[in-house]
Amino acid sequence: MGIKVLGEISQEKARYYQLPVQGGVIVEPVSGGAAGKAGLKAFDLIYEIDGQDIATGLELQAYILQKRIGDTVRVSIIRLVNEESAQVQKHSIQITLS
């Protein structure tokens, strides 16, 4: 998939920061990887893959390990769009695993 896990957001932190999700994994795309080519950006928060909730880096890894090269996954993310107001938006990205 071509990502590096930077951290995790627990349900408590998501509630504290008023995020519209229960938690997730903060990631950064690896240079030249499939995730970056598909539009994933540094500090995006992955909270769901193919409709399955993702709360930890281990859950993310376990899900991806079930897939094969060439499979496409739909990744649901939260992205910070305005730092001053802490405004975030939900996005969905399709990534073909390589």
**What is 45-56 written as a DSSP string?**
EEEEETTEE--S
Amino acid 71: pLDDT: 97
Amino acid 61: pLDDT: 95
CA angle, corner 24, sides to 29 and 56, nearest 5? 90
Phi, psi of 65, deg, nearest 5: -65, -20
Contact status, residue 73 vs residue 49, Cβ threshold 8 Å: yes
Q: Which residue has the higher pLDDT, 23 or 83?
A: 23
If one counts the domains in the chain, the total is 1
What is the DSSP secondary structure assignment for residue 35, as one 8-state letter?
A: H
Closest CA to 17 of 88, 77, 66, 75: 88
Q: How confident is the model at residue 83 (pLDDT cuts 50, 70, 90)?
A: low
Residue 43 clears pLDDT 70, i.e. is over it: yes
Range of the domain at 24: 3-96
Report the predicted TM-score, pTM, of the whole model to 2 decimal places. Answer: 0.90
Q: For position 12, which CATH number holds? A: 2.30.42.10
